[in-house]
Structure 1
């Protein structure tokens, strides 16, 4: 004890000399803690999140099907897509079996759309009890296609890969604008609809488009990737924040954010419930524009005292509280980019993994579980 006191006395006496050393030790300790936490998340938290999500949101039926509960007695193609992605990625980690995926797959097959008396591979966007809605949502079908590719490779199952090809062909047939070379938001946004030139920003999925091209050999997917990333980059450049809106309109003059209530609600032109997925799906891309978009967003978020639940594109917060569906994708993007300038976001946004998943908000739970599976 006497030696320790003497060392401490000498450090105080020569504090100017010791300060740089103390700073380096503090930084080193901080980095060590961060690596420990990251490793701990990968080892334990992610598996627990998957189990919680499955327990709370996956409904297994007696006929061998399973669906993701997005509301009481309600499922969405988006939710089924998340569920199939999560099951496939959990399978890659050894936490899910092929039958877990197969149950979700059967429900998708049982709820495909018929358009003009023609059976398609697109999934109905919504099912309530036994009622099946007669339109599709592109995001859900894109997630389902990617999950089929993952599952087909993981379990060496040709039927999943074949079904992915069929689904992708129908996405190009029913959810594609040939004039803009971009995906529409669903089969209902056709040439006869004013929504034909509408783009959902979170449908820009560059790594998925690469996978679709690799599976099908169709270079049209690379064109879609290039064009949609260009539109998203143009939106990112329109504001210092780098934020992009939930929806945007494409025209010969370029691309502009949707206005409030032009599509789905008052936040159509804000960084809100759809656009929050953009960092999640761009962060894994090697495309230079994708990296620039994500980096600019993270720089904005890193300067905020608190990352809140949505923003206007000028950077003004929409709310004064945090949201897991906003924070989760940001946390994932920070992990992927691995830039020291965003370490403050790693610290502030990791709260999404510290609590039990919500059992009352399907969207928050799905995105956090998806983030956990993707890490």
Structure 2
């Protein structure tokens, strides 16, 4: 009789305990708690970054890339700025006004009325930002970020206002597909200028942003983007398998329908680090982890985890490595450490998360555009987990 009298109480306690444990487990592993980063810190860093690097006037804004008096910017920087501003808006502290100012600058610096790709560089001449003839070509990485940012803006604010984000995105994506996608390999070229036999098969692996290509496919309903996504992931997987470190070079060549990869030589494309894990490739952990964050691709996860396993064994993350894992430089740089920190938040690598979250959250000095802008982009991506 006593057992039956208190059975309801015991059952209730069991339910309560189970519910409490369930909540604890959810809070531990739910997407919203994966980053564990304070929204206040992210907001503060955004304000610092914006104050340091956004220049221009009330109508147009650009991201300054140099420390000199005469401003310079790149399409790469404009893409980062647009991604950063729209992600900040998604998290409640960025504004549509800022994004539209950045968009207006992009529109004023398209290659031509018929070619909406962005001129790859502008420099200040008097009161104007201008491109000389050799700068009126494109850099694919910048155009990809701009297109993706426009899609996010359409999703955030719609396209019924003065700025038709959907039209701009679709026009830009059509131009990227026509001018910056290799029609044999269905991989991104390094720019619209890469048309000769010596350049058309050069690939910047950090441009193999599978998450973007998946989004482009669903947004445009153009199956060619699905092919770009599939081939990009295939090549990343191949490159990851070539070295025990999982490190991938700044540039490679990829040719034919079988996607045959070939190493480039030092100084073949841009710098002495072309065939090393350098200042282009350092973005790969961020770009690939972002695909896992959004789509839970197990291929992307394995590529990232292999690279992170290498970095766990490094006392510090240095700037530039050979693909076999030898540090080329004797200094660290947040362009290398913050993508690793972000990736560690995504795939839950506690060791690297504990070591390098401080780099993600450190104050923006305003003296070094590239690492601090990558820091800002990856910090916002971390804060965007679960959104």
Shorter chain as normaliser: what TM range? 0.7 to 0.9
Q: Taking CA–CA contacts closer than 8 Å with sequence separation of 6 or more, which of the two structures ends up with the larger relative contact order?
A: 2
TM-fit CA distance, 1:365: 1.1
Matched, 1:173 2:173: no
| Alignment match, 2:368 | 361
Contact 1:246 1:271 in 2 (8 A): yes
**Deviations 1:117-143 (CA, angstroms, capped at 9, x unpaired):** x62110000001232121000000000
TM-fit CA distance, 1:189: 0.3
Q: How does 1:119-134 map to 2 (within 5 A)?
A: 119-129=114-124, 130-132=129-131, 133-134=135-136
- In 2, the alpha carbon distance for the partners of 1:333 and 1:354 equals 14
Structure 2 SS opposite 1:359: coil
- In 2, the alpha carbon distance for the partners of 1:204 and 1:354 equals 27
TM-fit CA distance, 1:107: 0.2
| Alignment match, 2:352 | 345
Q: How does 1:144-183 map to 2 (within 5 A)?
A: 144-158=146-160, 159-183=164-188
Q: How does 1:31-110 map to 2 (within 5 A)?
A: 39=36, 41-62=37-58, 64-71=59-66, 72=68, 73-110=71-108
| Alignment match, 2:267 | 261
Q: How does 1:1-375 map to 2 (within 5 A)?
A: 39=36, 41-62=37-58, 64-71=59-66, 72=68, 73-114=71-112, 119-129=114-124, 130-132=129-131, 133-158=135-160, 159-190=164-195, 192-252=196-256, 254-285=260-291, 286-338=296-348, 342-375=349-382
Where does structure 1 differ by over 3 angstroms across 4 or more consecutive aligned residues? 35-39
User: 5+ residue gaps in structure 1?
Assistant: 1-30
- In 1, the alpha carbon distance for the partners of 2:111 and 2:325 equals 40
TM-fit CA distance, 1:358: 2.9
Change in 2 beyond 3 A, CA 1:232/1:65: same
- In 2, the alpha carbon distance for the partners of 1:304 and 1:271 equals 15
Structure 2 SS opposite 1:165: helix
User: 5+ residue gaps in structure 2?
Assistant: 1-27, 383-387
TM-fit CA distance, 1:290: 1.4
- In 2, the alpha carbon distance for the partners of 1:98 and 1:209 equals 24
Q: How many equivalent pairs are there?
A: 333
Structure 1 SS opposite 2:55: strand
| Alignment match, 1:18 | none
- In 1, the alpha carbon distance for the partners of 2:34 and 2:48 equals 20
Structure 2 SS opposite 1:183: coil
Contact 2:360 2:376 in 1 (8 A): no
TM-fit CA distance, 1:199: 0.3
| Alignment match, 1:25 | none
- When normalised by structure 2's length, the TM-score is 0.83
**Deviations 1:55-87 (CA, angstroms, capped at 9, x unpaired):** 00001314x111110114111001000000111
TM-fit CA distance, 1:372: 1.4
TM-fit CA distance, 1:306: 1.6
TM-fit CA distance, 1:351: 2.5
Contact 1:57 1:362 in 2 (8 A): yes
Contact 2:35 2:346 in 1 (8 A): no
- When normalised by structure 1's length, the TM-score is 0.85
- In 2, the alpha carbon distance for the partners of 1:254 and 1:357 equals 41
RMSD over equivalenced CA pairs, Å: 1.8
Contact 1:235 1:257 in 2 (8 A): no
